[in-house]
Amino acid sequence: MLRIRNLDAGYGSLTVLRRVSIHVKPGEIVAIVGANGAGKSTLLKTIVGLVRPRAGEVLFEGTDVSRTPTEAIVRAGCSLVPEGRQVFADMTVWENLLLGAHVQRGKGGRAGLQADLDRICGLFPVLAERRRQLAGTLSGGEQQMLAMGRALMAHPRLLMLDEPSMGLAPLIVRDIFDIVVRISAAGSTVLLVEQNARSALKVAHRGYVLETGTITMQGTSEELLANRDVQRAYLGKDANEESERGAP
């Protein structure tokens, strides 16, 4: 589905990513975890063409998209739910969803569009209730759902989520990750970037650890969750807590 080889990327004179290689297979949920400023967002932005790679290749379904405009990448079936949601704040929930369907225009017609809207409302009932509300007046969790709904309107085969849990209450975070699992079950492949490593690795099949622009570890979620270094750095457990841990 997605294969990245030796990717270098950055901004101006700043190099953020160095020789990053990852891959995502169809049907997988893959998590990328890492600290602030590690370059997680930069990686996703580079995949979708918002940042141009300096070197290396980004193969989406076998085609190199490292020089392809964002428009065409989204059209090809790779959507990003960006960090901070980036909803159209002064437009209604409904308009946000319609804009998400832009790359589907002319494909399913009116009936197709309605079916997509129904599908999204099934996944996020709150969006149907708030359809006429301005997106900027939604709560953080609702905005996250809207951003995900908007991305799903494009029928992505690969859905990339940049810190969907950021700033949300634990209960809402659980809802969001439940929905990620449902999206995956419905046939989309998911690439997830998170600082909330535990929640992310719980739903993911595999994961990568990104540290200051390079991949330092990779494995199945179970392996990473069990790994001492990952635990110490990203799961908030120190050695003492580990040894004291008896019953859960």
Partner 1 sequence: MTGALAIQYLVAGLTYGTIYAVVGMGFNIIYNTTGIINFAQGEFVMLGGMIAVSLHAILPLPLAIAGAVLATMVVGALIELVFIHWLSRPTVLRMIIVTIGISILIREVALLIWGHNVRVLPYFTGNEISAIDLLGARISPQVLWVVAVCAAMVALTTAFFQWTMLGRQMRACASNQVGAAVCGLPIRRLVTLSFVLSAGMGALAGCVVCPITYTQYGMGTGLAIKGFTVAILGGLGNSLGAVAAGLLLGIIESFTVSQLPTAFKDTVSIAILLGVLLLRPSGLFGARVATRA
Ligand X SMILES: Nc1ncnc2c1ncn2[C@@H]1O[C@H](COP(=O)(O)OP(=O)(O)OP(=O)(O)O)[C@@H](O)[C@H]1O
Q: Does 75 bind partner 1 (CB under 8 A)?
A: yes
Residue partners of 231: CB distance under 8 A and separation at least 6: 225, 237, 242
Q: Where are the beta strands (DSSP E) in the chain?
A: 2-11, 14-24, 29-33, 53-60, 63-64, 78-81, 158-162, 189-194, 206-211, 214-220
Q: Does 40 bind partner 1 (CB under 8 A)?
A: no
Torsions phi, psi of 50, nearest 5? -80, -25
| 3-state DSSP assignment of residue 37 | coil
Q: Does 231 bind Mg ion (CB under 5 A)?
A: no
Q: Does 185 bind partner 1 (CB under 8 A)?
A: no
- Least distance from Mg ion to the Cβ atom of residue 195, Å: 8
Q: Does 82 bind partner 1 (CB under 8 A)?
A: yes
Nearest-angstrom CA–CA distance, 247 and 205: 26
Q: Does 39 bind ligand X (CB under 6 A)?
A: yes
Q: Which of 8, 57, 83, 223 binds Mg ion (CB under 5 A)?
A: 83
Q: Does 16 bind ligand X (CB under 6 A)?
A: yes
Q: Which residue has the tokens 């160095």?
A: 18
Q: Does 99 bind partner 1 (CB under 8 A)?
A: yes
Residue partners of 19: CB distance under 8 A and separation at least 6: 6, 7, 8, 56, 214
Q: Does 42 bind ligand X (CB under 6 A)?
A: yes
Q: Which of 3, 5, 28, 70 binds partner 1 (CB under 8 A)?
A: 70
Q: Does 121 bind partner 1 (CB under 8 A)?
A: no
Torsions phi, psi of 120, nearest 5? -65, -40
Binding mask 19-58 for Mg ion (x = CB under 5 A): ---------------------xx-----------------
Q: Length of the chain in residues, anyone?
A: 248
36 or 243: whose CB is closer to ligand X? 36
Torsions phi, psi of 137, nearest 5? -95, 0
Which of partner 1, ligand X, Mg ion, none lies near 243, with the C-beta cut-off 5 to 8 A by kind? none
Residues that bind Mg ion (CB under 5 A): 40-41, 83
> What residue ranges bind ligand X (CB under 6 A)?
11, 14, 16, 34, 36-42, 83, 195
